[in-house]
């Protein structure tokens, strides 16, 4: 049965026997026989077949999850047996939020590949939250609060946010003297998603609850928040990983550094992976590399400290 599982998964994902046969370089009848033998062994239909497409049955849907898990465990076992003596090689799939990925993960991936030239990285830079249990993703970078799950999480860096505005905005509208005065200013806020924990909230202000700030620009893209703040549209509350260079160059001003320092570090920037997932050795190697690159105090927080 084991030798038929890759074909079963491939047919489930492709939806046709002919496409799988083309990719595997075999006859369509060969692919069909493998699925027939698997269905005969289980005594149930795994696919509903038509002249144009094959679709998983309910039983097939249930078995697909187990089949992927079995194949992943086999690949993981094989990798573990060879990892100690062989050069790391093969595919590693990573997903990362857009802005953070471009600034901090892509340069780290470049250095990783220089160190391990036999590894291939599929790097997906997107703000979409990928379900690792349903997709072949080895490492996901997550920023903020991690929901309860079976994922193995490794903190790469703490998450700290700063309230920032451009000198041009402050010249036109004045500088708020305290976080409560933000209620009288044009603040850049989120659109179409829940407010992240700690956003627009400060120690000993409003009982630690988020302030009900408002503004004329709402966007769910952090890069857009940064660009709008730089252009003097309004005041932003953004991670130090995003604004450190702008603060160093004085294109942005940190408004409440002492209040921000008093606030506790929020749930941080993590690398997460599925336990028992194949490529676990390469995934851990990559995560260790990221921790080394970022260091105990990440470069962006060092820049902020040096800019005070």
Structural domain boundaries enclosing 140: 90-158+267-306
**Comparison of pLDDT for 148 and 119, the residue scoring more:** 119
Residue with tokens 């573990």: 80
> Are residues 189 and 210 located together in one domain of the fold?
yes
Whole-angstrom distance, CA of residue 138 vs CA of residue 163: 34
Poorest-pLDDT segment among 8-12, 94-98, 225-229:
8-12
Q: How confident is the model at residue 264 (pLDDT cuts 50, 70, 90)?
A: low
Q: Could you give the percent of the chain with pLDDT greater than 90?
A: 43
pLDDT value at 116 more than 70: yes
> Are residues 179 and 258 located together in one domain of the fold?
yes
CATH no. for residue 207? Answer: 3.40.190.10
Phi, psi dihedral angles at 168 (to 5 degrees):
-65, -40
pLDDT tens per residue, range 180-198 = 999 999 999 988 766 777 7
Q: Count the domains in the chain.
A: 3
CATH no. for residue 11? Answer: 1.10.10.10
How many Cβ atoms from other residues are within 10 Å of residue 11's Cβ?
24
pLDDT at position 250 is: 95
pLDDT at position 262 is: 39
The residue-averaged pLDDT of 83-107 equals 86
> Are residues 250 and 234 located together in one domain of the fold?
yes
Please indicate, yes or no, whether the overall pTM of this predicted structure exceeds 0.85: no
Whole-angstrom distance, CA of residue 205 vs CA of residue 207: 5
Neighbouring-strand partners of residue 189: 218
> Are residues 170 and 254 located together in one domain of the fold?
yes
pLDDT at position 49 is: 85
> Are residues 293 and 154 located together in one domain of the fold?
yes
Q: How confident is the model at residue 263 (pLDDT cuts 50, 70, 90)?
A: very low
pLDDT value at 7 more than 80: yes
The residue-averaged pLDDT of 130-152 equals 79
pLDDT value at 113 more than 60: yes
**Comparison of pLDDT for 250 and 147, the residue scoring more:** 250
> Are residues 51 and 178 located together in one domain of the fold?
no
**Comparison of pLDDT for 185 and 308, the residue scoring more:** 185
> Are residues 153 and 279 located together in one domain of the fold?
yes
CB proximity list for 75: less than 8 A, separation 6 or greater = 278, 279
pLDDT tens per residue, range 60-82 = 888 887 787 777 767 666 665 55
> Are residues 43 and 187 located together in one domain of the fold?
no
Please give the mean pLDDT across all residues of the chain. Answer: 86
CA nearest to 273, candidates 111, 144, 176, 136: 136
Q: Which of 9-13, 93-97, 125-129, 255-259 has the highest mean pLDDT?
A: 93-97
Contact 57, 46 (CB under 8 A): yes
> Are residues 120 and 148 located together in one domain of the fold?
yes
> Are residues 132 and 175 located together in one domain of the fold?
no
**Comparison of pLDDT for 47 and 170, the residue scoring more:** 170
pLDDT at position 276 is: 66
Dihedral angle at the C-alpha atoms of 89, 7, 123, 294, nearest 10 degrees? -50
The residue-averaged pLDDT of 80-91 equals 67
Q: How confident is the model at residue 266 (pLDDT cuts 50, 70, 90)?
A: low
> Are residues 178 and 189 located together in one domain of the fold?
yes
pLDDT at position 230 is: 97
Q: 161-165 and 253-254 as β-strands: parallel, antiparallel, unpaired? A: antiparallel
Whole-angstrom distance, CA of residue 86 vs CA of residue 81: 9
Burial of residue 192, with CB atoms counted within 10 A of its CB: 0-12 exposed, 13-18 middle, 19 or more buried: exposed
Last residue of a domain, one of 83, 111, 129: 83
pLDDT tens per residue, range 15-49 = 888 888 888 888 888 888 888 888 888 888 988 88
DSSP result, the chain? -GGGHHHHHHHHHHS-HHHHHHHHTS-HHHHHHHHHHHHHHHTS--EEE-SS-EEE-HHHHHHHHHHHHHHHHHHHHHHHHHHTTS---EEEEEEE-HHHIIIIIHHHHHHHHHH-TTEEEEEEE-SS---TTTS--SEEEEESPPPS-S-EEEEEEEE-EEEEE-HHHHHHH---SSGGGGGGSBB-B--SSPPPTTTT-BTTBGGGPPP--B-S-B-S-HHHHHHHHHTTS-BEEEEHHHHHHHHHTTSSEES-HHHHHHSPPEEEEEEEE-TT-TTHHHHHHHHHHHHHHH-SS-HHHHHHHHT-
pLDDT at position 80 is: 59
Q: 90-96 and 119-125 as β-strands: parallel, antiparallel, unpaired? A: parallel
Q: What's the length of the chain?
A: 308
Last residue of a domain, one of 46, 64, 83: 83
> Are residues 47 and 105 located together in one domain of the fold?
no
Whole-angstrom distance, CA of residue 236 vs CA of residue 259: 15
Tokens of 101: 């990925």
The residue-averaged pLDDT of 272-277 equals 77
């Amino acid at each position: 049965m084991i030798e038929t599982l890759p074909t079963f998964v491939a047919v489930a994902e492709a939806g046709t026997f002919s496409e799988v046969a083309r990719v595997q370089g075999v006859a369509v009848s060969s692919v069909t026989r493998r699925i027939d033998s698997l269905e005969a062994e289980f005594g149930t239909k795994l696919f509903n077949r038509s002249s144009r497409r094959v679709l998983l049955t309910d039983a097939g849907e249930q078995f697909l999850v187990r089949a992927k898990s079995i194949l992943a465990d086999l690949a993981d076992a094989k990798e573990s047996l060879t990892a100690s003596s062989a050069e790391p090689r093969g595919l590693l799939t990573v997903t990362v939020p857009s802005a953070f990925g471009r600034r901090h993960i892509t340069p780290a991936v470049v250095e990783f590949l220089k160190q391990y030239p036999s590894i291939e990285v599929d790097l997906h830079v997107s703000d979409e939250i990928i379900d690792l249990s349903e997709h072949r993703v080895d490492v996901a970078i997550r920023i903020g609060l991690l929901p309860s799950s079976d994922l193995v999480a490794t903190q790469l860096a703490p998450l700290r946010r700063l309230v920032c505005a451009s000198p041009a905005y402050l010249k036109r509208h004045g500088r708020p003297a305290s976080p409560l005065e933000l209620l009288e200013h044009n603040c850049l806020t989120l659109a179409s998603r829940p407010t992240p924990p700690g956003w627009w909230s400060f120690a000993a202000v409003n009982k630690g609850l988020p302030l009900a700030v408002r503004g004329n620009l709402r966007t769910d893209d952090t890069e857009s928040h940064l660009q709008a703040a730089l252009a003097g549209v309004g005041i932003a509350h953004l991670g130090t990983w995003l604004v450190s260079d702008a603060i160093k160059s004085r294109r942005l001003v940190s408004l409440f550094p002492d209040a921000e320092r008093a606030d506790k570090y929020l749930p941080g920037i993590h690398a997460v992976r599925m336990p028992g997932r194949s490529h676990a050795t390469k995934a851990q190697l990559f995560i260790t590399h990221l921790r080394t690159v970022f260091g105990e105090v990440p470069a962006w927080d060092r820049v902020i400290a040096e800019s005070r």
